[in-house]
Amino acid sequence: GNSVTQMEGPVTLSEEAFLTINCTYTATGYPSLFWYVQYPGEGLQLLLKATKADDKGSNKGFEATYRKETTSFHLEKGSVQVSDSAVYFCALSMNSGGSNYKLTFGKGTLLTVNP
Amino acid sequence: NAGVTQTPKFQVLKTGQSMTLQCAQDMNHNSMYWYRQDPGMGLRLIYYSASEGTTDKGEVPNGYNVSRLNKREFSLRLESAAPSQTSVYFCASSDRSQGTYGYTFGSGTRLTVV
């Protein structure tokens, strides 16, 4: 079956530090890949996505590149802010029959950024 | 604001009680989903509805039932709540023609079973 593995947290950084959260996936076929962010007490929000190999998704200073050869979609940001403190989920979407798509999530990585 | 609305936001149940979690979306999406989120487990799919009139089991369906009342609404029912069902429940929707665009999530229902 499909699965997503992301680095376990928690991750604690100082403001303006460089962030990498690793994500690898297993899937039959060619999934679309996503990063979602969950701020404290809220639901999940789509942060960025990539739908085919070598695509780069970007948003709010975050980037991730779809690497088919290494089945990876690592999240990066050059300079984190306190407001980036949240839980980050890597996910993949595959067609599960007909035109239906299901998301498979990693377990999430808690990021805390200190001033 | 357009999106996915879940009610209630918080609920405490006693073991054996029943309740229904409500979810409604106003984006004319075809597919709707129920997930539960537990510490260290990420999000796990309970049930989903690919389109109005259909429902299917996800990864952890035991102890739950669902109803796709119409295109907008997808409810999750706990017939006899157990402490193991203490969790945060998220409803989500997607347009099946835009499967590459991911989901829109509600803000969650925090359920405690004592």
- Chain A residues with CB under 8 Å of B42 CB are 89, 105-108
**Contact criterion met (CB < 8 Å) for A89 and B50:** no
List the one residue out of A35, A22, A32, A91 whose CA is nearest residue A61: A35
pLDDT digits (tens, 9 = 90+) for A39-66: 988 889 999 999 889 999 999 999 999 9
Dihedral sign computed on CA atoms, order A82, A83, A88, A90: negative
- Chain B residues with CB under 8 Å of A51 CB are 100
- CB distance A48 to A35 below 8 Å: yes
Neighbours of B19 (CB within 10 A): 15
**Contact criterion met (CB < 8 Å) for A89 and B103:** no
Dihedral sign computed on CA atoms, order A60, B107, A75, A86: positive
- What DSSP string describes A67-115? BTTTTB--EEESS--GGG-EEEEEEEEEE-STT-EEEEE---EEEEEE-
**Contact criterion met (CB < 8 Å) for A44 and B90:** yes
User: Going residue by residue through chain B (114 aa), what tens digit of pLDDT does each one get?
Assistant: 669 999 999 999 999 999 999 999 999 988 899 999 998 788 999 999 988 889 999 989 999 999 998 999 999 999 999 999 999 999 999 876 555 567 889 999 999 999
Q: Could you tell me which residues come within 8 angstroms of residue B39 by beta carbon, excluding any fewer than 6 positions away?
A: none
